[in-house]
């Protein structure tokens, strides 16, 4: 896709959002199904059904997706799409590359083994390996804008409030 093509797609949206900011607010949804045997939760991604379960470091079989991996995958996907969109908008010569995300977990926290061990990632590293002849100043600009506009990156680095609710349903 060329920058003019991207601009043609996004300009009407940007104009509409400037005129009516509420049009820009979209509620995304995710849903998991807790029915079934074992310690698992089935997530409908809209493309496939993914069964998430315990990581082997917490006693899981290793045959199901780990939600920690899924979080890192979401960051890699969002950062990659954002980088490519920004590169397109900037007419940046991006010939290819990879997005790599690693995160360190201390499973003592989630298993309640050590109160001083955090529950969740203690470090997450996002790395881009890009094939480009562009000068470093343009690469720096690409990275800065990717960080600014990547939804998952921004959510992890400046988390919004998260509310939790329980609704009891009648047993069938």
What pLDDT tens digit does each residue of the chain (172 aa) get? Answer: 899 999 999 999 999 999 999 999 998 888 888 787 788 888 888 888 899 999 999 999 989 999 999 999 999 999 999 999 999 999 999 999 999 999 999 999 999 999 999 999 999 999 999 999 999 999 999 999 999 999 999 999 999 999 999 999 877 6
Distance between CA atoms of 51 and 39, rounded to whole angstroms? 10
Q: Are 121 and 127 in contact (CB under 8 A)?
A: no
pTM: 0.88
The domain locations on the chain are 66-157
Distance between CA atoms of 44 and 52, rounded to whole angstroms? 11
Cα 152–chain centre separation: 4
Distance between CA atoms of 105 and 119, rounded to whole angstroms? 8
66-157: CATH architecture: 2-Layer Sandwich (3.30)
Q: Are 115 and 64 in contact (CB under 8 A)?
A: no
């Amino acid at each position: 896709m060329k920058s003019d093509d991207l601009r043609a797609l996004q300009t009407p949206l940007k104009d509409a959002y400037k005129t009516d900011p509420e049009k820009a607010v979209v509620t995304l949804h995710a849903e998991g199904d807790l029915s079934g045997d074992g310690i698992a939760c089935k997530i409908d991604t809209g493309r496939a059904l993914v069964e998430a379960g315990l990581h082997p470091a917490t006693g899981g079989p290793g045959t199901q997706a780990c939600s920690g991996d899924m979080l890192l995958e979401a960051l890699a996907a969002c950062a990659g799409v954002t980088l490519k969109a920004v590169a397109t908008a900037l007419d940046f010569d991006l010939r290819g590359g990879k997005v790599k995300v690693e995160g360190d977990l201390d499973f003592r926290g989630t298993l309640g083994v050590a109160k001083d061990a955090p529950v969740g990632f203690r470090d997450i590293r996002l790395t881009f390996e890009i094939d480009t002849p562009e000068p470093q100043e343009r690469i720096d600009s690409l990275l800065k804008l990717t960080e600014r506009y990547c939804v998952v990156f921004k959510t992890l680095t400046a988390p919004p409030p998260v509310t939790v609710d329980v609704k009891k349903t009648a047993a069938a």
